Amino acid sequence: MRDRADLVIVGGGVIGLSLAYHLARLGFSDVVVLEQGYLCFGASGRNGGGVRQQWSTEENVLLMKDAVRRYRRLSQECGYNIWFRQGGYLFLARDDASAATLEQNTKLQNRLGVPTRLISPAEARRIVPVLNLEGVRVCAYNPTDGVLFPFPVVWGMARIASDLGVEINTFTRVTNIDVRGRQIVKVVTDRGAIATRRVVNAAGAWSPQVARLAGVELPNKPYRHEILVSEPVKPFLDPLVSDLSNGTYFSQTMRGEICGGLSDPAEPSSMESGSSLRFLSRMSRSLMRLVPQLGSLKVLRQWAGYYDETPDGQPILGRVDAVDGFIQLNGFGGHGFMMAPAIGQLAAEWILRKAEHPIFSTCDLGRFARGEQRRETFSIG
């Protein structure tokens, strides 16, 4: 392992590797990535692969338009097939409040060039004929949203970054960030120390723990989120379907499996990563309500990952006041994978060229102290 680097990235998930990948492609490779486990150890290897442009803030809609463009060409850039399929996202609203949210969001997305349409349940049934839409009032459908396979995204970015000179160290745990005055001087790991003046905290659910090593407190909290996958069945589902009444989302992979999950409002903040019978029961009932024909479907596997949640549902990006050179790229909830290619490019340009995008000021850590939170109200699925 190198004993010095211009930049150290803590966290070898999709956010950290996207930054390393984009830095390297811009010609800067004096970078070390430190990952405590294997690649795809954390949330990056445990998510459902959904990528959508249907959001409630202009900032996030534009960010995700860029992310979709980048995902469309990532397979060619990396040499890994990420199986990005733009089958769309179909949101279902069962009450007045959810219907109003979809209507408002659709107007915003259309203004920004995203082709979302409000459609009736009858129209939704033409898109997915097997859906039981009893009780659904209105739906929102954007055909350019999609799903991908997370593992090759991580592997591909890691390979290109490594080929271009970035050092990626797996099974390497950070034990201290040595700060003298306001300046970082080194990162200490269980394999040795790396002299550096700049550290990026891209550790996802572990980000608060990493920040404390530098004397910084983050408001992020980790929450377990569970997912399951079924045996393969004949393809019948193009879009990812999400029911706003309970947070269920599911899609069908290119091999035919049904893959999906739902959040649990009763889930406490924790680093628990085990699977639960409660999730299996709730998810099974919800899927059967939406697609009764799935009642005899066999579940092959279920697992859990972490949502890295902030108080306002927006990530924490950029500088912190207390420590010079300590950069935050965390707090993405369950949406870091969606946003990773756009965030990685923006952060790389900011670090190298001082090209500061407005997102680094609106989503900085200081917004909580200033009372300038801008809540993202559409952070499901």
Structural domain tally of the chain?
2
- Residue 380 placed within a domain: no
pLDDT digits (tens, 9 = 90+) for 45-95: 999 999 999 999 999 999 999 999 999 999 999 989 999 999 999 999 999
- Domain end residue (candidates: 307, 327, 348): 307
- Residue 22 placed within a domain: yes
- Residue 80 placed within a domain: no
In terms of domains, do 239 and 354 share one? no
In terms of domains, do 94 and 137 share one? yes
- Residue 299 placed within a domain: yes
Percent of the chain with pLDDT over 70: 99
pLDDT digits (tens, 9 = 90+) for 249-280: 999 999 999 999 998 999 999 999 999 999 99
Under 8 Å between Cβ of 8 and 301: no
Q: How far apart are CA 270 and CA 222, in angstroms?
A: 6
Number of Cβ atoms within 10 Å of the Cβ of 99 = 18
Parallel, antiparallel or unpaired: strands 221-230 and 299-309 = antiparallel
Query: Please, what is the average pLDDT of the chain?
Result: 95
pLDDT digits (tens, 9 = 90+) for 322-342: 999 999 999 999 999 999 999
- Give pLDDT, residue 305: 95
Q: How far apart are CA 264 and CA 224, in angstroms?
A: 9
Mean pLDDT of 227-248: 96
In terms of domains, do 139 and 227 share one? yes
- Give pLDDT, residue 263: 87
- Domain end residue (candidates: 307, 325, 344): 307
Number of Cβ atoms within 10 Å of the Cβ of 192 = 12
Q: How far apart are CA 194 and CA 184, in angstroms?
A: 11
Q: What is the CATH number of the domain that holds 284?
A: 3.30.9.10
- Give pLDDT, residue 82: 95
Structural domain range at position 279: 85-143+223-307
- Give pLDDT, residue 229: 97
- Residue 231 placed within a domain: yes
- Residue 75 placed within a domain: no
In terms of domains, do 111 and 200 share one? no
- Domain end residue (candidates: 277, 307, 337): 307
Under 8 Å between Cβ of 174 and 210: yes
- Give pLDDT, residue 356: 79
Q: What is the CATH number of the domain that holds 195?
A: 3.50.50.60
User: Confidence class of residue 381 from pLDDT cuts 50, 70 and 90?
Assistant: low
Instruction: Give the Å distances, CA to CA, from 103 to 86, 88, 185.
Output: 22, 17, 51
In terms of domains, do 256 and 300 share one? yes
In terms of domains, do 134 and 227 share one? yes
In terms of domains, do 94 and 235 share one? yes
- Whether the per-residue pLDDT at 346 is higher than 80: the answer is yes
Mean pLDDT of 143-150: 97
